[in-house]
Amino acid sequence: MNSELLRVVEREARAEADRLLAEARGQSEGILAQAGEQARAIRQEFLQRSQAEERTAEARARSAANLEASAMLLEAKSRVIESLFAEAAGVMDKLPPEKRRLALKGLMAEAAAGLSGRLRIEVSPRDEAPARKLAGELKLDAEVVPDARVSDGAVASTMDGSARVYNRINDRLQQARPLLTSSIARMLWG
């Protein structure tokens, strides 16, 4: 009877052990499945974050490249416009003598137009002799003075210096520069 009781206890113990083992297997499979799901979710989140960071880095790089290209293009356009202004500033020096004389005559007349009384007209040393003749032609009561600071055009002033009119090619270019720059840019690049 003892042996039968022992077998019954063993059977029940084995059944209980099998039940506990099956329950533990079920729980471990559930834990493993849950861990697998969490790992997949973490991996998916990591991939999405990595892809988003990669897209952001690409966008930043593209933006920086576009900005650099725009700056280079703007610099090139600026150099073109500057070279045009530099060329225009030297236009008087390139004129044939008769055209230079006519341009100087117009610039002197305009400079003197708003002034009265005896005048002082400063011109480039190169233009001194023609300017003296032009002052006579224009019937100006003026002292013509060479001044190395005046490379083109004329600067007219009253003898006491209380009024001064600058009428040089460079002065005109600088006054018109904002408008001319916009116009030149539109003509060249639309």
Q: 179 or 20: which carries more pLDDT confidence?
A: 179
What average pLDDT score do residues 134-157 get?
94
Q: Nearest 5°: CA angle at 144, between 138 and 149?
A: 120
Q: What is the pTM of this model?
A: 0.58
**pLDDT above 70: residue 1:** no
**pLDDT above 70: residue 11:** yes
Q: 6 or 108: which carries more pLDDT confidence?
A: 108
**pLDDT above 90: residue 171:** no
What distance in Å separates the CA atoms of residue 44 and residue 36, rounded to the nearest whole number? 12
For residue 22, name the pLDDT band (cuts at 50, 70, 90).
confident
Angstrom distances, CA of residue 82 to CA of 72, 149, 181: 15, 21, 9
pLDDT at 99: 92
pLDDT at 28: 81
Point out the least confidently predicted range of 17-26, 48-57, 111-120, 122-131. Answer: 17-26
- pLDDT tens readout for residues 83-104: 888 888 778 788 899 999 999 9
For residue 129, name the pLDDT band (cuts at 50, 70, 90).
very high
Which contacts of 76-83 are long-range, i.e. CB under 8 A and separated by 24 or more positions? 77/185, 77/188, 77/189, 80/188, 81/181, 81/184, 81/185
Q: 24 or 53: which carries more pLDDT confidence?
A: 53
For residue 117, name the pLDDT band (cuts at 50, 70, 90).
very high
For residue 147, name the pLDDT band (cuts at 50, 70, 90).
very high
Q: What is the DSSP letter of 127?
A: G
| Mean pLDDT score of the chain | 88
Provide φ and ψ at 140, rounded to 5°. -95, 135
For residue 187, name the pLDDT band (cuts at 50, 70, 90).
confident
Handedness of CA 13, 17, 18, 22 (dihedral sign): positive
